[in-house]
Chains A and B, each alone.
Chain A
Amino acid sequence: MATTAVAPGQPTTKIGKAATEIDERLIVAGPLRRSLNKVFPDHWSFLLGEIALYSFVILLLSGTYLTFFFDASMSETVYQGAYAPLRGVEMSQAYESTLALSFDVRGGLLIRQIHHWAALLFVASIVVHLVRIFFTGAFRKPRETNWMIGVVLLVLALLMGVTGYSMPDDLLSGTGLRIISAILLSIPVIGTWAHWAVFDGDYVGDAIIGRFYIVHVLILPAIILALIVVHLLLLIKQKHTQFPGPGRTEHNVVGNRLFPAFAGKATALFFIVFGLCAALGGLVQINPIWLWGPYNPAQVSAGSQPDWYIGFLDGSTRLFPAWDINLPGDYTIPALFWPTVVVAGAMFTVLALYPQLERKLTGDTASHHLLQRPRDVPVRTSVGVMALTFYGVLWMSGGNDLIADKFDISLNAMTWVGRIGMIVVPPIAYMATYRICLGLQRHDREVLEHGIETGVIRRLPSGEFIEVHQPLGPVDEHGHGQLSYGGAPVPKKMNQVGGARRAIKGFFKPIEQVSDVELGSRREQRGLAAAEAERDQLTRSGRPSEGGRPSDGGRPQDPRD
């Protein structure tokens, strides 16, 4: 093309020209702009899922490094590596190569420990993310599918953990493997067949670590990766939920655009999560397999604990009574079957189906994009706390021998504490949570009706002392506020409604012009009318025709949209 004159709008810079070249081939400018303009709501709790995603990235990176050194073989060898106390000891290749990558690979121990810490963080962030989704009602229509994918991801993450920590073939992981073998055997009818299929024979055989390895490094990661992609695509398609607030409705998303604010924050979080894992991986020792020694079926160390996320199953197994069920024909359902296969199966099934259950029980079939505050749905919140308490008792019982040891309590007493506690404590937690939710709800309405307590005491001419209340909005003839509750936090301190001046910044000397800050705050004062208008909007569901939401507490809500 003869460059006689630049056509209007044609780029003149090098980068601009290159970008045009690319777009002429791929036509990506439109989709790219749409992505950059995508709005993400801003709340700290929306970052929990991101932490899980970033931990997974760290797991992939560190795990790939480890595969270059790990040898998933159970054939016997004699250790001759750098760690003198184990020299000359017979062990499996798997254990030997794990020792080698800890002691003979430069920086290998760091990567191994980063991998382990990232795995703990991965499961932990999934669980906390799930708890956030649950208590704010983000799983409701149209997001039930994504909830279910999330639960499947959690189960897969647990399996990743189990296959991962079983591979080094040290004494601790071998003990875990032995229990996995017993759990497989405990399944009625097909137990022995299942065991033979997984272990390729009787315990322990020589196939299991190789099999766990391929499951751990190929099959599970591939499934998890695919599900994460679907999880995120659904999130993008359905857009993120948001908490109710000024201008936020069921039909919009208020927040930051992807570029640059959200991208900056997300990248920052990735680096912080990675940094945290790296620091933990270097500074805090985890699973020092060289102290446990190679696996030996005749040995075990006291205080054997699995990684934290399996603790609840260890606890349920400790608590469940010795109830073998003997069936006619000399068949047995082992007691071990109930606290492991049945408890885990039931817990995850109920969890996965919870959105459908709630939908059936409340009859709420509407789509929801605005989140709920836990206090506004006391039944769900209490059910959630009850479930968490049950989980907590099981989890604590997974370490009841350590508690018994450290606090000098009888071990058998700790078992009974767990057995009684898992039945008695959850209902108490339910009731307490329910009362707390109602109390918080009432306080919100109290403040909306009577205003914020200012702490200023005034004496009336009659001699009566009263506390001055600051109304949040217009009042009726009795002095009662006319704002209705809109599902958003209600300011309860004077500082939250501009009762205090902003501090002037600068540590040793002020770096802001005092007059500017003064002007700014005066501008904010002028903006109070606008803020009040916003707050008025806050108390409606976004449709002016509806005139605000009724304060409907925990009752099932009518479909609003």
Chain B
Amino acid sequence: MAEAFANATQILEPFRGVKKVTLEEYFTSGHRTCQGCESALVMKLMVKAAGPRTIVLGATGCMYVANTTYYTTPWVVPWMHTQLGSSGSAALGTSAGLKALMRKGKMKSEPINVIAFCGDGGGADMGLGAISATLTHKEYNSLILMYDNESYANTDIQLSGSTPYGANTTFSPPGSVRRLIHTRWKKNTAAMLAAGHTECRYVATVDASYAVEMMNKVRKALSISGPTFIHSLDPCPKGWDYDPMLSHELGELAVETGVFPLYEVEDGVLRYYGKTKAIVEGRARKPVREYLLKQGRFAHFTEEDLGYFQSKVDEMWEKWELPGVIPFKKAVAGK
């Protein structure tokens, strides 16, 4: 009984289609995110999928500053701020506190969802160590969701370890002498965490352009015991510099061009999703220029830059051991 109790989770069955999605909202009015903000949609869908018996912890970032201004809150479920690099620690501490109190009979025993979210700055940069630690604590249930809008979008759009190659940010402006300041390739965060934490039972990538799939991955992550991680790619009109009406389309293009693959790793088994699955099975990818040139942050790209970006994405699908996920190539005998 003790062991069963130890990792009991809510069992959240997948929504069978958009018409079966529950109507109740737990992230409502009261925030001041930008028009076209995909991350606000991610928050809404995330907690809709989780339901009312949930505690949400939010690391510093736009989903903190723009969502929760004192005297107003969009959160219907309990919500608490945590420090920029602390999403992992917030998930772990909240889960451990609940577990201690329930096992000692100091609190009514019930599975409560614990979700900590962070941006790409809080997740892929500053908070990576704490997230990594939490993903090794298999006896504490939690979900860490990284909403990746590919920059420090709350502080004026500065580049993060998750900003794509060459993008124009306030820390990497294209200049008359140096066209590209930011020449680092984006971190492969989800796969890194999946590969490096063998007892973390669930890691997934999501894209809110595919909303039902996204919510069902959240529900699966919360139903699986132990710590889990979801990486969400969120088009950001302000940081990516595009018309807000294009958020949904850019989310689709990120997948269709192969720039952002959709997959999950559940108990060590990799499953591709949707258009990504089709790409792995041989369907042609759209050229990355269709995705990049719709965004002002790549407006300074030359044909050479576009070609380089395309070649790196081609490599993901043509050379990687696990296409789009694990960037190893087997050594060829004799070399």
User: A and B: real partners?
Assistant: no
